[in-house]
Amino acid sequence: MGDGAILFREFLRFPFQVGAVLPSSASLAAVAARPVADDGDPVVVELGPGTGPITQAVQNRLGKRGRHVAVEVNPRLAGLLERRWPDVTVVRGNAVRLPEILASLELTADVVISSLPWASFGHDLQERLLASTLASLGDDGVFTAFAYVHAKPLPPAVRFRRRLDDLFEEVEVSRVVWWNAPPAVVYICRGPRRDHR
């Protein structure tokens, strides 16, 4: 079974958790992974890797450097990732638990790359996930998340975008990645604010 069929099957089982019918394109994955430094040993955390298009883009940038932790709540998808990328630390669990997960690995994140379906999430879950992300980033840490262009006006997507402005010093919005179904932009957020509310 191809990755498209695998993600679609999981979407039918858990539509709000998966939030996409197709895996991200290599073009979108490359934009999302761009903040991964091309030198040193960065700690990269991926939230919601699914079938792994962004996992592949991060691995392309890292080569054998640094650490790559991928947190996936869906056990079938986590199993697939473990088999495909033995160099990636795949954690089967909820990204809400990210601070405990990283503490158990004695790591602080340099980059957190989310492909979670924020526009499908309610207020409480968005807030818990954002708080966990902020608590896991170092002071120079970068957070990236993508948004589908057609869904940007939806209230949960608007709320998420506003919260990024509250929680980070700087939010850069990428060009639209048209070569993705559906087209998307990537938010690249720098300067986590420690005094956030």
Ligand X SMILES: C[S@@+](CC[C@H](N)C(=O)[O-])C[C@H]1O[C@@H](n2cnc3c(N)ncnc32)[C@H](O)[C@@H]1O
Residues found near ligand X in the complex (CB under 6 A): 17-20, 23-24, 47-50, 53-54, 71-74, 77, 94-96, 115-117
How far apart are CB 41 and ligand X at their closest, in Å? 23
How far apart are CB 48 and ligand X at their closest, in Å? 2
- Our CB check for ligand X shows the closer of 1 and 139 to be 1
How far apart are CB 184 and ligand X at their closest, in Å? 9
- Our CB check for ligand X shows the closer of 121 and 168 to be 121
- Our CB check for ligand X shows the closer of 29 and 164 to be 29
Closest CA to 89 of 58, 118, 120, 116: 58
Strand order in the sheet with 43-47: 89-92, 67-72, 43-47, 109-114, 137-148, 184-192, 168-173
- Our CB check for ligand X shows the closer of 20 and 177 to be 20
Rounded Cα–Cα distance for residues 197 and 45 (Å): 23
Rounded Cα–Cα distance for residues 17 and 76 (Å): 13
How far apart are CB 77 and ligand X at their closest, in Å? 5
Helix 75-84 vs helix 3-13: crossing angle, to nearest 10: 160
Rounded Cα–Cα distance for residues 30 and 173 (Å): 15
